[in-house]
Amino acid sequence: MSAYSLRHYGEDTHRLSDPHVIVEHYTETRTAQEAWDTFAPDVPDNEFHELPNTCAHFLVEGDGRIDQLVPLTERCRHTTGLNWTAIGIENVGLSDGEILSDRAQMRASLALTRWLQCRYRIALRNVIGHNESLSSPYHHDRVPAFQHQTHSDWNRTDMNRYRALLARLPCPAGTD
Ligand SMILES: [Zn+2]
């Protein structure tokens, strides 16, 4: 990850410090196991064929179970242009709409995101969907092929719904 950060951000470090952004994703899989099987092997990713493999800090399942895959002090590859400063949350499912309509999953996803947002003092506008990555003020990448690259997961309309729900939650005790 240090080598990736040096190539893409000009920073020779794998450490995530003072994160400014939280990015919501969905796995495009039915199960957490399938997502894990994508992330776990130490091989180049299948889109850019680059190391380290893609990953996310958290997986949120349909029943509300949350698995942490990567420590919050480490960078990982989930959003081109933002991996230097973004925490990644993968919601297990096949579409924004499917996750938005799953009450248990949404309760867990929102509670996790709110806790992270309060703990790191991340503004609501910096809780974004992967599809909103290019308009983030924190987005940058030194590699031209990566500068306009994003994915379709969590568009603005669905993230506006997500952010509206998030804004109603209080900060959990101990995060203020
Ligand atoms: Zn994504």
Query: Token digits for 67?
Result: 């698995």
The Å distance, Cα 76 to ligand 1 centre, comes to 12
pLDDT tens for each residue of 66-84: 999 999 999 999 999 999 9
Rounded alpha-carbon distances, angstroms, from residue 138 to 1, 38, 70, 114, 150 = 19, 27, 21, 20, 14
Arithmetic mean of pLDDT, 122-128: 98
Q: What is the pLDDT of residue 165?
A: 98
The answer as to whether 7 is a domain residue is: no
Q: Number of folded domains in the chain?
A: 1
**3-class DSSP assignment, residue 115:** helix
Q: What is the mean pLDDT of the chain?
A: 96
For residue 125, the number of C-alpha atoms closer than 13 Å in the C-beta half-sphere is 4
Tell me, in angstroms, the distance from the centre of ligand 1 to residue 172's CA.
26
Tell me, in angstroms, the distance from the centre of ligand 1 to residue 171's CA. 26
- Gap from CA of 108 to ligand 1 centroid (Å): 18
Whether 150 maps to a domain, the answer reads: yes
For the stretch 85-97, pLDDT in tens is 999 999 999 999 9
Range of the domain at 116: 15-166
Residue 81's domain is classified under what CATH number? 3.40.80.10
Residue 53 in domain:
yes
Distance 133 CA to ligand 1 centre (A): 10
Q: Report yes or no: 141 and 11 within 8 Å, Cβ to Cβ.
A: no
Distance of CA 110 from the midpoint of ligand 1 (Å)? 17
Which tokens belong to 130?
């992967």
